[in-house]
Amino acid sequence: MATRNSEIVEAFEKFFQNYYDNEVKQLAQEYPNEKQSLYIDWQDLYRYDPDLADDYLSHPKHHQGYAEKALRVYDLPIDISLSQAHVRIHNLPSTESPDIGEIRSRHVNSLIRVTGTVDSIEQAQSALSEAAFECQLCGTLSRIPQSPIGGIQKPHKCQGCERSENFVVNHDQSEYVDIQTIYIEQRPPGVGTDDDREILTVKLEDDLVDEVNPGNTVNICGIVQHNADLKNSTASIPDKHIEGIAITEASRYQLDITNREKKDIIQLSSNDSIYETMVDSIAPTVYGYERMNQARSHRDYQDLDHRNTHQSGLQHPRVYLITFC
Ligand SMILES: [Zn+2]
């Protein structure tokens, strides 16, 4: 087993040499003040070694550990240790990207990607990353790495007197990391109300804390964790959360548009009364919204006009996409 583990670490070292040499060296230059993480693209790993990439999906914690070990032993041109640097994998295949409402037991402990909009964020807090347990009988300190998200791990026995009780955490000798809980939401395609939202709890740590704000649309890669403590949470998934590993910006939701709908949109865009059609299409059952809808449509028009003029040099606005709210 030890041989197998060191083979995996070596495989990651070679992967970094072939695909991420510049990025690792850049990280070393900026670590730890400006940068603490190496982002790797799952698709690159798949090109390098499909089996390793697939194993990363099913055993993400182990493989993140191997990849981070490879980072620590990486041959760097400057004398610095990337001892606490993170490897953050992103751009997972679409097969591992369930909607929030589709997350099930089979996803627990696996790596998935979800796309959603940040609904709310909690205050950042401090959590133990390495607890120094002091034996009350002989005073020996036992340092035990902690997962900031999860229960506290105690030593099995004292390294000094070999007894297995009477430990107290020595806070001065312990190390801490920032943690934060955020909630991301997905709405069903088409018309959806607040009651239709799916909300997922995401737990973040270290340099991912304070990276997003409410309203941001993001891709989050992370490990699905079962957690009975979340049962009273406002999330619509009451017993599972994601331990976030990487956050990347998602420009917009992927819209699944059929060929028929494409034809309809193109046809509508050449209609002289498209502006009036848009105004009438917004909340048509609510009386008295005409002026507000005019303003809203006008804003969408201006948006499109502005983008078209800048991107393609067009002098006259054309409507390419109609939004129905
Ligand atoms: Zn002891």
CATH of the domain at 163: 2.20.28.10
User: What total of structural domains would you count in the chain?
Assistant: 4
Same domain, residue pair 168 and 226:
no
| End residue of a domain, out of 66, 91, 116 | 91
In angstroms, rounded to a whole number, what is the distance separating the alpha carbons of residues 310 and 312?
6
DSSP state of 272: T
Higher pLDDT, 56 or 270: 56
Confidence class for position 46, pLDDT limits 50, 70, 90:
very high
Same domain, residue pair 87 and 17:
yes
Q: Using the mean position of ligand 1's atoms as its centre, give its distance from the Cα of residue 167 in Å.
A: 8
Residue 274 structural domain? 259-312
User: Is residue 159 domain-resident?
Assistant: yes
Q: Using the mean position of ligand 1's atoms as its centre, give its distance from the Cα of residue 233 in Å.
A: 40
Q: Using the mean position of ligand 1's atoms as its centre, give its distance from the Cα of residue 5 in Å.
A: 32
Task: Inform me whether the pLDDT recorded for 315 exceeds 50.
Answer: no
Q: Using the mean position of ligand 1's atoms as its centre, give its distance from the Cα of residue 165 in Å.
A: 8
Q: Using the mean position of ligand 1's atoms as its centre, give its distance from the Cα of residue 138 in Å.
A: 4
Mean pLDDT within 108-122? 95
Q: Using the mean position of ligand 1's atoms as its centre, give its distance from the Cα of residue 153 in Å.
A: 17
CB 131 within 8 A of CB 143: yes
User: Is residue 29 domain-resident?
Assistant: yes
| Model pLDDT, residue 310 | 42
Which CA distances in Å does 101 have to 93, 96, 122, 197, 235? 18, 14, 22, 9, 11
Same domain, residue pair 33 and 133:
no
User: Is residue 321 domain-resident?
Assistant: no
| Model pLDDT, residue 256 | 57
User: Is residue 143 domain-resident?
Assistant: yes
Q: Using the mean position of ligand 1's atoms as its centre, give its distance from the Cα of residue 126 in Å.
A: 28
Task: Inform me whether the pLDDT recorded for 254 exceeds 60.
Answer: no
CB 199 within 8 A of CB 223: no
- Residues forming beta bridges with residue 175, ordered by sequence position: 130
Q: Using the mean position of ligand 1's atoms as its centre, give its distance from the Cα of residue 142 in Å.
A: 9
Global model pTM greater than 0.75: no
**Is residue 184 packed enough to be buried (19+ CB in 10 Å), middle (13-18) or exposed (0-12)?**
buried
Q: Using the mean position of ligand 1's atoms as its centre, give its distance from the Cα of residue 149 in Å.
A: 28
Which CA distances in Å does 202 have to 26, 219, 235? 29, 12, 10
Same domain, residue pair 276 and 192:
no
Q: Using the mean position of ligand 1's atoms as its centre, give its distance from the Cα of residue 43 in Å.
A: 49
User: Is residue 254 domain-resident?
Assistant: no
Same domain, residue pair 287 and 169:
no
Mean pLDDT within 205-224? 95
Higher pLDDT, 308 or 185: 185
In angstroms, rounded to a whole number, what is the distance separating the alpha carbons of residues 201 and 51?
30
Q: Using the mean position of ligand 1's atoms as its centre, give its distance from the Cα of residue 173 in Å.
A: 17
In CATH, what number is assigned to the domain containing residue 16? 3.30.1640.10
User: Is residue 70 domain-resident?
Assistant: yes
CB 242 within 8 A of CB 222: yes
Q: Using the mean position of ligand 1's atoms as its centre, give its distance from the Cα of residue 52 in Å.
A: 42
Q: Using the mean position of ligand 1's atoms as its centre, give its distance from the Cα of residue 174 in Å.
A: 18
Same domain, residue pair 184 and 111:
yes
User: Is residue 201 domain-resident?
Assistant: yes
Same domain, residue pair 116 and 24:
no
In angstroms, rounded to a whole number, what is the distance separating the alpha carbons of residues 279 and 291?
9
Q: If you average pLDDT over each of 52-61, 272-281, 315-324, which comes out highest? A: 52-61
* Type of residue numbered 89: I
| Model pLDDT, residue 2 | 54
Per residue in 189-203, pLDDT (tens digit) is 655 667 778 999 999
| Model pLDDT, residue 294 | 67
Same domain, residue pair 228 and 111:
yes
| Model pLDDT, residue 268 | 80
Same domain, residue pair 101 and 197:
yes
Same domain, residue pair 39 and 150:
no
Task: Inform me whether the pLDDT recorded for 204 exceeds 90.
Answer: yes
Question: At a CB cut-off of 8 Å and minimum separation 6, what does 93 contact?
Answer: 42, 43, 46
User: Is residue 322 domain-resident?
Assistant: no
Same domain, residue pair 111 and 159:
no
Other residues' Cβ atoms within 10 Å of the Cβ of residue 259: 7
Per residue in 135-175, pLDDT (tens digit) is 999 999 999 988 766 678 899 999 899 988 889 999 999 99
- Three-state secondary structure call for residue 107: helix
Same domain, residue pair 115 and 197:
yes
Mean pLDDT within 16-33? 96
Task: Inform me whether the pLDDT recorded for 318 exceeds 50.
Answer: no
Higher pLDDT, 190 or 121: 121
Per residue in 283-306, pLDDT (tens digit) is 665 666 666 666 665 655 554 444
In angstroms, rounded to a whole number, what is the distance separating the alpha carbons of residues 113 and 116?
10
